[in-house]
Amino acid sequence: MLAQKVLLGVHGFDAEYALVVRFMMRTGAGLADAEDAMQHVAEQGWRKVTSGQWDQVHLPRAWARTVALNHHRAQCRKHNAAVRCGSRMFLQVRALRFC
């Protein structure tokens, strides 16, 4: 049963990878930061699968985007958003959507 969930999760991950990276780049992340956020999504997803909590994720696409965006925001806060992650587009999107 776990093997079947893992295979489905891996297939879903492959299908969503490019979409989530593109979503992150549209919110202002650079390619490296977007891929880093997606790596974090994969790690968190794997933890949920191995701990038996993946069934609690009802909307995997939304979950992946939320985890990626939250990870990117946390990284920006850690490294001073205005300097490290400070493209104007990101700051404008952040001001419009998250304040």
pLDDT tens, position by position, 29-84: 899 999 999 999 989 988 998 999 988 988 888 999 999 999 998 888 877 645 44
CA-to-CA distance for 75 and 30, rounded, in angstroms? 13
**CB of 15 closer than 8 Å to CB of 81:** no
Query: Residue 87: which domain range?
Result: 2-97
Give tens-digit pLDDT for 6-16. Answer: 544 556 667 78
**CB of 75 closer than 8 Å to CB of 85:** yes
Residue 94 has a pLDDT of 47
Q: What's the structural domain count of the chain?
A: 1
Query: What residues contact 25, with CB distance under 8 A and at least 6 apart?
Result: 31, 34
Helix, strand, coil abundance in the chain, percent, nearest 5: 80, 0, 20
